[in-house]
Amino acid sequence: MAVQEKKSVSKKSTKSKKGKKSGREAVEAAKAETKKARRAEEKDAEKAVRAARKAEKKAREQAKAARAAQKKAAAAEKKAAAKAKAARLEKVAQRDAAAKAEKKARKLAKERVVAGQPGSGVGTPETTPAEREQRRREAEQAAGRLAAAAEHKATAERPAEVHHTNGARV
């Protein structure tokens, strides 16, 4: 037992020396632990910031892709509407062209029927050479009268009367 007491005594003596040392070590250990905890928190915070940025970037890309898809769909819809409109217009144009052609065909058929009848005035004129000559003479006389009136107007001593309703009279 005496030996044990010695040991315990020696423990006491070393304990006092170690007490100061272990106190300093405890402070250092606490500082190190605090530093470690702070670093871990900072790392976690940085990790969270990176994750948030990554999520934000992913969301932006998804939004961009959605906008692009929407734009593409709108363009396709617009193109389809334009094609449908063009088809409708073409159909209407064909219908109008067919109606016009039918009307023209009816008119030509009617003219052929009428032209076959004498004295209709449609188709070839049925005038005799004598009638043609008479019309030519009348046209020449009218032209001569107009030329004489114009010459008289130009060379007359007194000016022609001016009427407000129908220009200058001779």
CB 162 within 8 A of CB 168: yes
* pLDDT greater than 60 at residue 129: yes
* pLDDT greater than 90 at residue 8: no
| pTM beyond cutoff 0.75 | no
User: Which residue type, as a one-letter code, is found at position 130?
Assistant: A
Predicted local confidence at residue 1, as pLDDT: 45
Domain ranges for the chain? 21-88
| 125-138 core/surface letters (b: 16 or more CB in 10 A; e: else) | eeeeeeeeeeeeee
What is the sign, positive or negative, of the torsion defined by CA atoms of 124, 130, 136, 138? negative
Residue 24, Ramachandran bin (φ over 0: left; ψ between -120 and 50: alpha; else beta) = alpha
